[in-house]
Structure 1
Amino acid sequence: MFPVRAPIVPKYGMIVHPPRRKVQVNNPPLPPLNPMITIPITKPVKSARVPKMKEKLPEQIIFTGRINPLEALSKYPFLLTDREHSEILHYDDIYYIRLAPPHNTPQPKSTPNYFHFVPNDHIAYRYQQLEVLGKGSFGTVIKCLDHKTKELVAIKFLRDTKKVHDEILFENKIISRLQDGENSSTSGIIRYIESFSFREFFCIVMELLWKDTYTVLEARHFVGYSKNIIKMVAYQSAKALDFMHKHNIVHCDIKPENIMFITEQKKNIKIIDFGCSCFSGEIMFTYIQSRFYRAPEVVLGIEYDREIDIWSLGCVLCELVTGRPLFDADTQIDLLAMIIETIGEPPKSMLDRGSYTKKFFDGRNLKIQYNKDVRIPGPPKSRSLEAELNVSDAQFIDLILGCLKWEPSERYTAEELMNHPFLADYRSGL
């Protein structure tokens, strides 16, 4: 299913090798032998001064899949920490603990906001930690082996504090909504398996995908993708957005890192990470989207909706063609300047609606403080999209310009993108 190999695990569990223990035995010196005395051959008698050896652990210990907590405590106490001797009783089924006694396992460091990764340690006595897949402000994602299903999965760990508890529950609500109903399995949305709390973290178990489009682009030294892959990403991303939008969900963070190839063959993608998502008409955050992909209504402080995802997708497709962001702005005012250079000035009606308009505009002019560190913007529409993308395909340019409209209501919908002429041959091959 995936290009990575799963670790070799016996059919019915794991093999644990206990550590070798050195026991020093101090025997008393033997008295000189008297040749006239015959000593009968009997079993040796241990001196009272010889310490009793503990029963040696067997060379191989077989962990036979699912067991109950009491059996784990009875048979494998050496695999548990002091804390786990009581913690394990809160679990009904035990599928995995670890590969070695915990005194051979690195102890967690003080990392209050991130889950501490320990290779081969357990998560909730079921998942085996294998590799860190990603780490950021959202938390940590770790590749794990599910010892119940024998499948590789990705687990997202979110620090469950009072400050973010409601946000975590809301993300879980969004995820649950996207897994319900018809076509959820073919929606282009990452499949969520389960969620639970483990110690101080909220854990979301997801299917394991290959790599995101940015990571692969970076590995290609930022050489853009082929036209066929661009069409696949465009169509399948639009299909995923159409599914979300029809469920009244706005993703709010479409970017190359959140579009993942399912396998190394790069035939299909899925959309991930709903930590910034919201329901249509229920704005939760005013500062959203990564700057390179931020829609102008967000910058200007205008109420936003699903159209911001369409703007972001247009920016992403340009980056996947050239290998660099279309609007690689350092600041929000620089972002507005680059947008004006590309698609012209914003309509007055839009500026009038913006609660942040006066922060960036003096009448119709941008408030740019010119100095040696500030890029001097060109006139409106002085930046040719065809030249920037080095693309002469009129249909592709039309698709991008249909995403990059100042007025949200004038942009393509996700469904219109799916039916765009640029994607006609891709649709016919489905």
Structure 2
Amino acid sequence: MVEIEVLQQLAKNDEGGSRCVQIRNWFDYRNHICIVFEKLGPSLFDFLKRNKYCPLPVDLVREFGRQLLESVAYMHDLSLIHTDLKPENILLVSSEYVKLPGCKRISSDETHFRCLPKSSAIKLIDFGSTVNDNQNHSSIVSTRHYRAPEVILGLGWTYPCDLWSIGCILVELCSGEALFQTHENLEHLAMMERVLGPLPAHMVRNANRGAEKYFRRGSRLNWPEGAVSRESIRAVNKLDRLKKLVLQHVECFRASSFIDLLHGLLKFDPSLRLTAWQALDHPFFKNPS
């Protein structure tokens, strides 16, 4: 019922540009709440999976990113925080696609066919975890791979946690793989530092008691000493800095504004992170050439 209230609020204020899924009806069937939505296509995760996780062209990533930011900006203006942004919760409006050759895996000479959607239109779904900013905030939000550092460190969270998730999603769409493929907090923080540099000292100092165990005296992460396995250390070591990671998939002359946008979305300090409206005003969207 909380989700239905959010959906009705989104629909009430929508003038056609929110890019949030539209509720058509709801009913109680034998104590099961059922929600009727408009018909949409597959999720971006399902599309990547069908594509054998081939990276998407940067122009398509730009279109997806623009629409996702418009949707989140609309929600934030209504004081709503999604808290569970991920490719599974972003649906293509249409299921139609074209099949093209041209995805060659780095590890092999085999050429796969690449599927591209006929339409880049998307809709944001799954508002079951959405909260109003003035409501009580649970300590943990977001699916692991897309969870912001302030959540892991117990610093409290608000609108910027959605922007961190969007940064992770955009990297995944352009690379074909989740940026932080992890299931454990210390490893997750180590991956963040590997890709983005050291965590700010003030965030470490203010971390809650549950997060203190991830650090040695001072602000140094307890890594690799605290790693649970050698596989975990290898998983962190194989990651590159953000710029190098993006340049593996995007031509150099097109990558600079994209990398700059990602650095703005993936700021450790949530107070310095781009807002959705600021991100939409970034040169990556304003000057696509």
TM-score, structure 1 normalization: 0.57
Q: In the alignment, what sits opposite 2:181?
A: 328
CA contact (8 A) 1:229 1:266 kept: no
Using the TM superposition, name which of 349-358 and 228-237 deviates more: 349-358
Q: Are positions 1:360 and 2:210 aligned together?
A: no
SS at structure 2 position matched to 1:408? coil
Q: Are positions 1:421 and 2:279 aligned together?
A: no
Q: Specify which of 372, 388, 396 is matched with residue 258 of structure 2.
A: 396
Distance 1:370 1:255, change over 3 A: closer
Residues 73-92 of structure 1 correspond to what in structure 2 (within 5 A)? none
Q: In the alignment, what sits opposite 2:146?
A: 293
Q: Distance in 1 between matches of 2:232 and 2:18?
A: 43
Question: C-alpha offsets along residues 20-71 of structure 1, whole Å, 9 cap, x if unaligned?
Answer: xxxxxxxxxxxxxxxxxxxxxxxxxxxxxxxxxxxxxxxxxxxxxxxxxxxx
Residue type matched to 1:172 in 2? I
Q: Distance in 2 between matches of 1:292 and 1:349?
A: 23
Q: Are positions 1:275 and 2:133 aligned together?
A: no
Q: Are positions 1:171 and 2:8 aligned together?
A: no
CA contact (8 A) 1:251 1:274 kept: yes
CA contact (8 A) 2:186 2:227 kept: no
Q: Specify which of 49, 52, 70 is matched with residue 221 of structure 1.
A: 52
Q: Distance in 2 between matches of 1:310 and 1:352?
A: 23
In structure 2, the gaps of 5 or more residues are 97-117
Q: Distance in 2 between matches of 1:172 and 1:182?
A: 15
Distance 1:176 1:397, change over 3 A: same
| Superposed displacement of residue 424, structure 1 | 1.8
Question: C-alpha offsets along residues 270-325 of structure 1, whole Å, 9 cap, x if unaligned?
Answer: 10001111111424422221111110011111110010010000000000001001
Q: Distance in 2 between matches of 1:321 and 1:193?
A: 33
Q: Specify which of 220, 230, 234 is matched with residue 372 of structure 1.
A: 230
Distance 1:274 1:230, change over 3 A: same
Q: Distance in 2 between matches of 1:199 and 1:249?
A: 30
Report 1 or 2 for greater relative contact order, CA contacts < 8 Å, sequence distance ≥ 6. Answer: 2
Q: Distance in 1 between matches of 2:179 and 2:229?
A: 23
Residue type matched to 1:174 in 2? V
Residue type matched to 2:241 in 1? S
Q: In the alignment, what sits opposite 2:197?
A: 344
Larger Rg: 1
In structure 1, the gaps of 5 or more residues are 1-168
Residue type matched to 1:225 in 2? L
Q: In the alignment, what sits opposite 2:13?
A: 181
Q: In the alignment, what sits opposite 2:93?
A: 262
Q: In the alignment, what sits opposite 2:112?
A: none
Q: Distance in 1 between matches of 2:174 and 2:230?
A: 31
Q: Distance in 2 between matches of 1:353 and 1:385?
A: 26
Q: Distance in 2 between matches of 1:330 and 1:298?
A: 15
How large is the RMSD of aligned CA atoms in angstroms?
2.0
State the identity %: 29
Q: Distance in 1 between matches of 2:92 and 2:287?
A: 21
Using the TM superposition, name which of 351-360 and 204-213 deviates more: 351-360
Q: Distance in 2 between matches of 1:366 and 1:260?
A: 37
Residue type matched to 1:365 in 2? R
TM-score, structure 2 normalization: 0.83
Residues 104-119 of structure 1 correspond to what in structure 2 (within 5 A)? none
Q: Distance in 1 between matches of 2:14 and 2:178?
A: 35
Q: Distance in 2 between matches of 1:353 and 1:413?
A: 23
Q: Distance in 1 between matches of 2:14 and 2:220?
A: 49
Q: Are positions 1:241 and 2:98 aligned together?
A: no
